[in-house]
Amino acid sequence: MFPYSTMLQPIFWMVIGLLTGVFVIGLRYWLKDLNISMNWWKWVLLSFWIVLLAVTLCGSFTLMGENEWTAGYRFLLFFGAVITISGAGLWMILRRVNP
Amino acid sequence: MDRRNFLKYSGLASGTLALAGISSAGFVAGRNKDGNTGFGRTPYGKDQFFNRKPFLVEQPTYMKVGTPERIGYLDHLFRRNAELRYHIFSYGREGFQKVRDEGPEKLPEPLKSYYIDNPSAFEEFFRAMDRANEQKANWEKYKDRYMLAEAWSAAHASPLGAPGAFPREPRGNPEESDFSGVNEDSLKLKSPQHGSRLIKKISHLFGATLTGITKIKKEWVYQGALRGRGRGDFEVPGHWKYAIVIAIPHEWESFYANPTYGTSHDAYSMLRFISGKLETFIKKIGYSARSHIPPTSYDLILPPLGIDAGLGEQGRHGILITPELGANTRLAAVSTDMPLEPDKPVDLGIRKFCNKCKICAEECPGKAISFAGSPYKTVRGYKRWSIDQDKCYTVWNSVATSQPRGCRICLAVCPYSRKNNWIHTIAREADPRDPTGLVSSAMLSMQKNFFSYPGGKEYLPPPEGNNKTYGKPPDWLRTEEWFDI
Tens of pLDDT, residue by residue over B302-329, are 999 999 999 999 999 999 999 989 999 9
Q: Do A13 and A48 sit in the same domain of this protein?
A: no
Closest Cβ opposite residue B450 in set A4, A17, A74: A74
> How many percent of chain B have pLDDT more than 70?
90
Query: Is B129 within the bounds of a domain?
Result: yes
- Least CA distance to B472: which residue of chain A? A67
Q: Do A41 and A63 sit in the same domain of this protein?
A: yes
Angle at B126 between CA B100 and CA B388, to 5 degrees: 130
Q: State residue B303's pLDDT score.
A: 96
Closest Cβ opposite residue A59 in set B21, B423, B471: B423
Query: Is B305 within the bounds of a domain?
Result: yes
Query: Is B442 within the bounds of a domain?
Result: no
Distance from CA of A29 to the nearest CA of B (A): 17
Model confidence band, residue B5 (pLDDT cutoffs 50, 70, 90): low
Q: Do A83 and A49 sit in the same domain of this protein?
A: yes
Least Cα distance to B340 among B245, B446, B419 occurs for: B245
Tell me the ipTM for this assembly: 0.86
User: What single-letter DSSP state applies at residue A37?
Assistant: -
Residue B457 above 60 pLDDT? yes
Q: Does B14 touch chain A (CB under 8 A)?
A: no
Q: Does B20 touch chain A (CB under 8 A)?
A: no
Distance from CA of B321 to the nearest CA of A (A): 21
Distance in angstroms (rounded) separating the CA atoms of residues B341 and B198: 11
Q: Does B109 touch chain A (CB under 8 A)?
A: no
For residue B128, count other CB atoms closer than 10 A to its CB.
22
Q: Do A5 and A45 sit in the same domain of this protein?
A: no
Q: Do A82 and A48 sit in the same domain of this protein?
A: yes
Q: Do B451 and A59 touch (CB under 8 A)?
A: no
Q: Does residue B313 contact residue B247 with C-beta atoms inside 8 Å? A: no
Sign for the CA dihedral angle at B125, B128, B130, B133 comes to negative
Q: Does B261 touch chain A (CB under 8 A)?
A: no
Q: Do A46 and A94 sit in the same domain of this protein?
A: yes
Q: Does residue B234 contact residue B299 with C-beta atoms inside 8 Å? A: no
Q: Does residue B354 contact residue B443 with C-beta atoms inside 8 Å? A: no
Residue B9 above 80 pLDDT? no
Q: Do A14 and B421 touch (CB under 8 A)?
A: no
Query: Is B67 within the bounds of a domain?
Result: yes
Q: Do A31 and A19 sit in the same domain of this protein?
A: yes
Q: Do A17 and A56 sit in the same domain of this protein?
A: no
Q: State residue A23's pLDDT score.
A: 85
Lowest mean pLDDT among B40-54, B149-163, B218-232: B40-54
Q: How many domains does chain B have?
A: 1
Q: How many domains does chain A have?
A: 2
Instruction: Give start and end residues of each alpha helix (H) in B244-301.
Output: 252-256, 265-284
Among B10, B417, B423, B475, most A C-beta atoms within 10 A, so best to mutate, is B423
Distance from CA of A70 to the nearest CA of B (A): 6
Distance in angstroms (rounded) separating the CA atoms of residues B395 and B389: 10
Q: Do A48 and A13 sit in the same domain of this protein?
A: no
Distance from CA of A43 to the nearest CA of B (A): 23
Q: Do A63 and B450 touch (CB under 8 A)?
A: yes
Q: Does B6 touch chain A (CB under 8 A)?
A: no
Least Cα distance to B80 among B111, B109, B118 occurs for: B111
**Pairing, β B242-248 against β B210-215:** antiparallel
Least Cα distance to B259 among B401, B453, B77, B457 occurs for: B401
- Least CA distance to B23: which residue of chain A? A10
Distance in angstroms (rounded) separating the CA atoms of residues B225 and B297: 11
Query: In chain B, which among 420-439 make CB contacts under 8 A with chain A?
Result: 421-423
Q: Which amino acid would we find at residue B67?
A: T
Angle at B448 between CA B446 and CA B452, to 5 degrees: 110
Query: Is B447 within the bounds of a domain?
Result: no
- Least CA distance to A77: which residue of chain B? B450
Q: How far is CA B80 from its chain centroid?
A: 20
* CA-to-CA dists, residue B284 to B273, B279, B309, angstroms: 16, 9, 24
Distance in angstroms (rounded) separating the CA atoms of residues B231 and B240: 19
Q: Do A53 and A98 sit in the same domain of this protein?
A: yes
Q: Do B21 and A17 touch (CB under 8 A)?
A: yes
Average pLDDT over residues B128-146: 95
Closest Cβ opposite residue B450 in set A6, A58, A71: A71
Q: State residue B422's pLDDT score.
A: 84
Residue B41 above 60 pLDDT? no
Q: Which helix (H) or strand (E) holds A81?
A: helix A69-96
Q: Do A56 and A93 sit in the same domain of this protein?
A: yes
Least Cα distance to B317 among B271, B251, B258, B270 occurs for: B258
* CA-to-CA dists, residue A59 to A1, B42, B116, B471, angstroms: 18, 21, 54, 19
User: What single-letter DSSP state applies at residue B398?
Assistant: T
State the average pLDDT for chain B: 90
Average pLDDT over residues A64-93: 94
Closest Cβ opposite residue B471 in set A6, A9, A67: A67
Closest Cβ opposite residue B25 in set A4, A10, A66: A10
Model confidence band, residue B39 (pLDDT cutoffs 50, 70, 90): very low
- Give the structural domain span for B158: 55-417+452-481
Residue B288 above 90 pLDDT? yes
pTM for the whole thing?
Answer: 0.89
Tell me the three-class secondary structure of B332-382, residue by residue: EEEEECCCCCCCCCECCCHHHHHHHHCHHHHHCCCCCCCCCCCCCEEECCE
- Give the structural domain span for A51: 37-99
Q: Does B28 touch chain A (CB under 8 A)?
A: yes
Q: State residue A66's pLDDT score.
A: 87
Q: Do A51 and A28 sit in the same domain of this protein?
A: no
Q: State residue B376's pLDDT score.
A: 83
Q: Do A70 and B452 touch (CB under 8 A)?
A: yes
Q: State residue B43's pLDDT score.
A: 47
